[in-house]
């Protein structure tokens, strides 16, 4: 699945409900998901399945926010297509 396909799938599943909630509240939900990911990252030993689920949740909420703000995730990824957006190198030389 491409990034664009993922964004469309998340829109189909959640956009109407998330849009009704609004950007500020949806952003709070996104940050809560990042917090859940942080807990999993700190957990020892790390559980790959739990980490995968939390990263997926963060990605889905980020996708929802991007859609609500009229931003394509593919455009966001393109910012890094040639390496570091500041120095243009990969690995970064900043």
| Tens-digit pLDDT profile for residues 20-59 | 999 999 999 999 999 999 999 999 999 999 999 999 999 9
Give percent of the chain with pLDDT exceeding 90: 100
Largest CA distance in the chain: 43
Q: Write down the pLDDT at residue 89.
A: 95
Return d(Cα 40, Cα 34) in angstroms, integer. Answer: 10
Return d(Cα 16, Cα 64) in angstroms, integer. Answer: 10
pLDDT tens profile 10-23: 999 999 999 999 99
Name the CATH topology of 3-78. Helix Hairpins (1.10.287)
Residues near 86 by beta carbon (within 8 Å), at least 6 away in sequence? 92, 94
To the question of pTM greater than 0.75 for the whole model, the response is yes
pLDDT band at 9 (very low <50, low <70, confident <90, very high): very high
Q: Write down the pLDDT at residue 76.
A: 97
């Amino acid at each position: 699945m491409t990034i664009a396909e993922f964004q469309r799938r998340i829109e189909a599943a959640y956009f109407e409900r998330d849009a009704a909630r609004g950007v500020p509240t949806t952003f709070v939900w996104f940050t809560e998901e990042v917090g859940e990911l942080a807990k999993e990252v700190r957990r020892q030993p790390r559980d790959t399945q739990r980490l995968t689920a939390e990263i997926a949740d963060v990605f889905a909420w980020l996708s929802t926010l991007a859609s609500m703000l009229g931003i394509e995730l593919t455009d966001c990824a393109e910012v890094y297509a040639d390496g570091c957006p500041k120095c243009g190198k990969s690995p970064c030389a900043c």
